[in-house]
Structure 1
Amino acid sequence: MDMQADFDRLLFFEHARRTAEVTYTKNPLDTENLTRWGGALLELSTFQNVQESKSMIKEAISKLDEALSIDPKKHDALWCMGNAQTSYGFLTPDKDEAKGYFDSAYTFFKQAVDEDPENELYRKSFEVATKAPELHAEVHKQSFSQQAVAPGAGGGPSTSSSVKGAKAQKSSDLKYDIFGWVILAVGIVVWVGFAKSNVPPPSQR
C-alpha cells in the first residue's frame, strides 16, 4: 500500500515538474510556477540516492532563487527555500558545511514568518530550524557508530553492536520523521498550487 502511495507521489511530482518546465518556456517570470517547480524537485529528491538527491535539491534552490529574485517577499518561495537548505544540510556530512545551510534555512524561515506571521506551518518550521544542527550531529554520529560496529568492521561484541544499531535506527527514524514532515508539507504546498493552476472551476448547477 505504501509502495503504491510512493509511486503515485513520484508520478504526481514528476508530472508537476514537467508541467512547470513547459509553463516556464511560456512565462519565465511566473513566480508561482517557479515555486511549484522548486517544490516538485524537492519532493522528487527524496526518491534519489544521496548524490542525485543533492543535485536535485541544488536545482530546486536555483528555481526558488529565480522566484525570489522576481519577488523577494514571496513567502511560500522563502519557506520552500528554507526547506531546500535544511534538506541539503542533512545530506552534508561535514558539520561546519552543514551549519552554513542550516543558518541559511533559519534566515529564510524567519523571512517567511515575517511575511506571513499567521502561518502555523512557517512558525513550526522556524522553531524546528534551531534544532537542525543538533539533530545533524546526532544522526551523523550514530550512522558513523553503526558503520564502526557493522559485521566485519572489527567492532566490539554483538550485544554492543545491536544496542548501537538500535540507537542509530532511533536517531535515523527521528531524522526521517522531521525530514519527512518537511517534505510532506512542501508537497502539500506544491499540490495545492498545482491544483489551483490546472483544475477547471467547478461547473455551476
Structure 2
Amino acid sequence: MDMPADFDRLLLFEHAIRAAEVTYAKNPLDAQNLTKWGAALLELSSFRNIHESKALIKEAISKLEEALSIQPNNHEALWCMGNAQTSYAFMTHDKDEAKGYFDSAYNFFQKAVDEDPGNELYQKSFQVAAKAPELHSEFLRQNLSQQAMASGVGAGSSTSSNARGPKPQDSSDLKYDICGWIILAVAIVVWAGFAKANVPLPPPK
C-alpha cells in the first residue's frame, strides 16, 4: 500500500468536505455541490473502521438524497447513490437487509444509465450491480471461514497460528477488494468535479 498516496487522498477528501460545507452555507440548493459532498464522504469512509464507515456512508446517502430532491435527473448523483448503497450493503451482514440496499443500488445505476446512456462507467456499474448479491454471499462465506480457521488455530500450536492464522485486517481487506473499483471510480468524480470548480486542493506534505 502506498501510504503517502493514501494520506494525500485522505487530505483531498477532507478538504473537499470542508469546501462543500462552505458552498452549502452560501447555496443549499446547489445539487452539484451536494453530489460532490456525498461522493467525498463515501471516499472518506474507506479510511475508517466499519462502524465509522457505515456512519459516513449514511451521511453520504443523506447528501445525495438532498441533491436528488433538487435535481432528480442528476446522473452523477444517481450513480454516486448507487455506489453508496452498494458499499453499505457490503458492510451489512444480514442478507435480507443487504438485499434491500443492493436492489436500491441496481435501480439507481439503471437510472444513471438512462440519463447518460453513453457513459461506460455507469454501464459497468449497472452490470456489476446484478452480481453484487452473489459477491456479498461469498464475502460472508469467507468471513465465516476465517472465523472458523481462527477458532481452530487458537486451539493449536503457536507455530501453526503464525503460519496459518488470519490477520484481523483480513475481512477489511476483502471488503476493499470487492469495493475497490467503486471507491476508485468515485474518487475520479471528486477530483474532476473540484478541478472544474477550480477549488484549490490541499498542498502536498
Structure-1 residue corresponding to 2:135: 135
Quote how far apart the aligned CAs of 1:176 are: 2.6
Unaligned runs of 5+ in 2: 201-205
Quote how far apart the aligned CAs of 1:150 are: 0.4
Deviations 1:84-115 (A, max 9, x none): 00000000000110000000000000000000
**Native 8 Å contact 2:153 2:165 kept in 1:** no
**Native 8 Å contact 1:37 1:60 kept in 2:** yes
1:126 aligns with 2:135: no
* TM-score, length-scaled by structure 1: 0.87
1:60 aligns with 2:60: yes
Structure-1 residue corresponding to 2:148: 148
**Native 8 Å contact 1:135 1:175 kept in 2:** no
Higher relative contact order (CA 8 A, sep 6+): 2
What is the number of equivalent residue pairs in this alignment?
197
Structure-2 residue corresponding to 1:117: 117
Structure-2 residue corresponding to 1:21: 21
Structure-2 residue corresponding to 1:106: 106
Structure-1 residue corresponding to 2:97: 97
Deviations 1:167-203 (A, max 9, x none): xx99976653341111110010011001111259xxx
1:118 to 1:84, Cα distance in 2 relative to 1, 3 A: same
Amino acid at match of 1:194: F
Q: For 2:135 and 2:170, locate their aligned partners in 1 and report how far apart those are by CA, in whole Å.
A: 12
* TM-score, length-scaled by structure 2: 0.87
Quote how far apart the aligned CAs of 1:156 are: 8.7
Unaligned runs of 5+ in 1: 201-205
Task: List 4+ stretches of structure 1 deviating above 2 A.
Answer: 151-158, 169-178
Q: For 2:52 and 2:21, locate their aligned partners in 1 and report how far apart those are by CA, in whole Å.
A: 19
Structure-1 residue corresponding to 2:70: 70
**Native 8 Å contact 1:89 1:101 kept in 2:** yes
Two-structure CA RMSD over aligned residues (Å): 2.7
